[in-house]
A = this chain, B = another copy of it.
Amino acid sequence: MKGKRISKKDRQVQLVEKLKNDPFLTDEELMQMFGVSIQTIRLDRLELGIPELRERIKSVAESNYSKVRTIGGREIVGELIDIKLGESGISVLQTDESMAFEKTKHIRGHNIFAQAESLAIAVIDEDTAITAVANTKYYIPVKAGEKLVAKAEVVRHRGDRHFVHVFIYSGQEQVFRGKFILMPLN
């Protein structure tokens, strides 16, 4: 029924369900879904023992790092929030001023490259992997503070070469794409 608020109990049941389907919903997104204030969402999380988004990302990332073969988890630039070895992966990078040019406060290209390249390497199902080719496009300049979500997909293999595409988004906008060819070290 339009306009009618659901009970606190029902809301909390639904909130748990929604976060089970998408653990990376922000408090702002949940607030809009339920038509309540952000304080209400925070109290709900507190009562239900659900940590804030940043902690949820970290905890998911920890369990993903153990699946990666090519590099150490800490060597991945950003938090690894999803990984299907040999197939695909997703990472989240919270940008800040240390990654930006002093003059323009725009994130330096090599930091975005680092998120993309390390994710491309992480998804490869090999003991080692090194970049042979990287063709990259930067569509929209990224400002310090933006949260970047990178999605990598292994698109094909030829001999010992792995072809990986990485797309990076800030909110709904695509800011970068990289086409990588990776090889194991012999």
Q: How far is the CA of A182 from the CA of B62 in the complex (A)?
A: 37
Q: Is the CB of B138 within 8 A of A135?
A: no
Chain A contact residues, CB within 8 Å of chain B: 70-72, 75, 77, 101-104, 106, 108-111, 113-114, 117-118, 128, 130-138, 141, 185
**Which of B75, B101, B118, B137 is within 8 Å of A133, CB to CB?**
B137
> How many identical subunits does the complex contain?
2
Q: How far is the CA of A118 from the CA of B128 in the complex (A)?
A: 28
Q: Is the CB of A104 within 8 A of B132?
A: no
Q: How far is the CA of A101 from the CA of B122 in the complex (A)?
A: 12
Q: Is the CB of B106 within 8 A of A185?
A: yes
Main secondary structure of the interface of A (DSSP, over half): mixed
Q: Which 3 pairs of residues, A with B, have the shortest CB-CB distance?
A: A110-B114, A109-B131, A135-B135
Q: How far is the CA of A159 from the CA of B115 in the complex (A)?
A: 30
Q: Is the CB of B132 within 8 A of A138?
A: yes
- Of A101, A110, A114, A133, most buried by chain B (CB within 10 Å of CB) is A110
Q: Is the CB of B136 within 8 A of A101?
A: no
Given contacts A130-B141, A133-B136, A134-B113, contact A71 B118 (CB under 8 A): no
Q: How far is the CA of A130 from the CA of B110 in the complex (A)?
A: 11
Q: Is the CB of B128 within 8 A of A138?
A: no
Q: Is the CB of A135 within 8 A of B136?
A: yes
